[in-house]
Amino acid sequence: MAHFAKVENKTVTKVIVAEQEFFDNFVDDSPGEWIQTSYNTYAGEHRLGGTPLRKNYAIVGGIYDADKDAFYEQQPYPSWTLNENTCIWEAPVAYPNDGNMYIWNETDRQWDEVS
């Protein structure tokens, strides 16, 4: 089985599981197009060592960028930038690697520890 995302105006509106043969005879008159996505692709890598497909698995509400041929999430904060290689949003400050939990503080542009 494969996964397909319905994309309307660059936004993913649905994700389904179907065989490619389903789309050979499927008639969809609604706006948008169906684009294959890979459940095992994240940050441009295939988790099982296969060939990655479109940088990331599509999620409803996410973006499909035809120029990059990539799926990625909506920008979470204005200060974050999209990594062009992975199509993952990155904070301007790296997440602390000390085992504690943090939440992003956009006002101060820093990670605040969660108590």
pLDDT tens string 26-57: 888 899 999 999 999 999 999 999 999 999 99
pLDDT for 80-94, tens place per residue? 999 999 999 999 999
Residue 20, pLDDT score: 83
Is 105's pLDDT higher than 90?
yes
pLDDT at 65 over 90: yes
Element (H, E) at 103: strand 102-105
Mean pLDDT of 5-19: 96
Say whether pTM exceeds 0.85.
yes
Q: How far is Cα 67 from Cα 29, in angstroms, rounded to an integer?
A: 24
What average pLDDT does the chain have?
96
Q: How far apart are alpha carbons 65 and 11 in whole angstroms?
A: 9
**Distance between CA atoms of residues 111 and 3, nearest Å:** 35
